[in-house]
């Protein structure tokens, strides 16, 4: 059963990652890399549920691999990945988005959680 759950997490993670990358390129007109950031704040797709779907997707892939292969080291790696991402987001990403998008980002931040997805989609008014 754990292997099936692992495979499902991997598939969901890959799908979420692909969707987020496409939104960055097509809607945000940029990339996830800090050297070529988006020109528009993305608040569609998975971003209506969680502010950081790319990181959540990668964490799901790592957890899925840990379950699929039954390797505890991947759980440790996943935990370290989450910690590093959290620190990066707090120290760099959120302040940068605040400077770049101001009140638009504040509204998004106030309505969409950082890590645990909402149960219903947020719609920018």
Q: Is residue 76 part of a domain?
A: yes
Q: Is residue 95 part of a domain?
A: yes
Q: Is residue 121 part of a domain?
A: no
Find the domain containing 43 and state its range. 2-111
Instruction: Give CA–CA dist 123/47, Å, rounded.
Output: 10
Judged against a pLDDT cut of 90, whether residue 32 lies above it is answered with no
Instruction: Please compute the mean of the pLDDT values over residues 95-121 and round it to a whole number.
Output: 96
Q: Which residue has the tokens 């799908």?
A: 15
Q: What is the pLDDT of residues 52-90, one digit of tens each?
A: 999 999 999 999 999 999 999 999 999 999 999 999 999
Q: Tell me how many domains the chain contains.
A: 1
Instruction: Please compute the mean of the pLDDT values over residues 29-41 and round it to a whole number.
Output: 82
C-alpha distance from residue 121 to each of 14, 46, 75, 90, 91 (Å): 20, 8, 29, 23, 27
Q: How does residue 30 score in pLDDT terms, banded at 50, 70 and 90?
A: confident
C-alpha distance from residue 37 to each of 25, 27, 34, 93, 117 (Å): 10, 12, 5, 11, 23
Q: Is residue 34 part of a domain?
A: yes
Q: How does residue 25 score in pLDDT terms, banded at 50, 70 and 90?
A: confident
Task: Give this prediction's pTM.
Answer: 0.91
Q: Is residue 118 part of a domain?
A: no
Q: Is residue 66 part of a domain?
A: yes
């Amino acid at each position: 059963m754990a292997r099936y759950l692992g495979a499902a997490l991997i598939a969901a993670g890959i799908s979420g990652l692909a969707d987020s990358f496409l939104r960055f390129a097509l809607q945000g007109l940029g990339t996830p890399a800090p050297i070529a950031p988006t020109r528009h704040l993305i608040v569609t797709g998975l971003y209506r549920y969680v502010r950081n779907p790319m990181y959540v997707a990668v964490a799901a892939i790592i957890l899925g691999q840990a379950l699929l292969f039954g390797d505890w080291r991947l759980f440790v790696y996943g935990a370290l990945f989450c910690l590093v991402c959290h620190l990066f987001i707090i120290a760099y990403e959120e302040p940068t988005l605040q400077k770049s998008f101001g009140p638009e980002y504040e509204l998004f931040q106030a309505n969409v959680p950082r890590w645990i997805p909402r149960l219903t989609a947020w719609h920018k008014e």
